[in-house]
């Protein structure tokens, strides 16, 4: 699994108002920031992806979130 610092490629902006943790949105330009380890993972990962604490894990277009309350939903724009 590659460890890429997404902040070097994208600028991230929180989605306002913050979505309900029970129904997190997904899209190609939506990312989840783990509030436990501060890493960012795409909401629709097609390569194996995970944050370092294991709260966000996924691949093949599916992301699993252990603790939705510990996630900030952000939109990524290329720098």
pLDDT given for residue 15 in this prediction = 95
pLDDT given for residue 5 in this prediction = 87
Global pTM exceeds 0.75: yes
* Order of strands, sheet of 40-42, starting from the edge strand that comes earlier in the sequence: 10-14, 71-78, 30-34, 40-42
Per-residue pLDDT of the chain (79 residues; tens, 9 = 90+): 667 889 999 999 999 999 999 999 999 999 999 999 999 999 999 999 999 999 999 999 999 999 999 999 999 999 9
pLDDT given for residue 3 in this prediction = 77
Task: Return d(Cα 72, Cα 79) in angstroms, integer.
Answer: 20
Structural domain boundaries of the chain? 6-78
pLDDT given for residue 68 in this prediction = 96
- What length is written for the chain? 79
């Amino acid at each position: 699994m590659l460890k890429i610092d997404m902040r070097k490629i994208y600028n991230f902006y929180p989605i306002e108002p913050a979505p309900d943790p029970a129904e997190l949105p997904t899209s190609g330009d939506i990312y989840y920031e783990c509030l436990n380890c501060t890493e960012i993972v795409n909401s629709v990962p097609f390569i194996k992806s995970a944050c370092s604490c294991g709260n966000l894990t996924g691949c093949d277009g599916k992301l699993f979130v252990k603790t939705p309350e510990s996630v900030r939903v952000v939109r990524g724009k290329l720098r």
